[in-house]
Structure 1
């Protein structure tokens, strides 16, 4: 799997973690799922960013990276 896709998948986990946190808070239970999603999302995104041969990703270029990556996989 390519690092760009892993980076984007890691970033997708972060809003899901927020939703899980709000859900746990509303139900008055411990946010274990949110903590796991944050750990996995940040871990995958950090690993993909720091092992990228071109260097760490620039946050301003994430939309362009997302479009290029989706286009690359859509074309296959």
Structure 2
């Protein structure tokens, strides 16, 4: 897997974990799915940042996301 793809998948997992966390707290149940999404997403993001030679800057993230989406569509 490419480091750009790992970054985008990690960001998506963290983004999907936020509504799961809110839903779990509003229903008074333990946020297990949200915790798994945050751990996996955070791990993927960390691994992507560490394996990319130049690293990522905050301004690079939209370009990386669009590049990955363009590769998937092609």
Which blocks of at least 5 consecutive residues in structure 2 are unaligned?
none
CA distance in 1, matches of 2:72, 2:26: 38
- Counterpart mapping for 1:1-76 below 5 A: 1-53=1-53, 55-75=54-74
Aligned residues: 74
TM-score (norm 2): 0.90
Higher relative contact order (CA 8 A, sep 6+): 2
TM-score (norm 1): 0.88
1:56 Cα shift?
1.6
CA distance in 1, matches of 2:60, 2:24: 33
1:11-46 Cα deviation digits (max 9, x unpaired) = 011111111111101110011111111111010011
DSSP-derived class of the 1:30 partner = coil
RMSD: 1.1
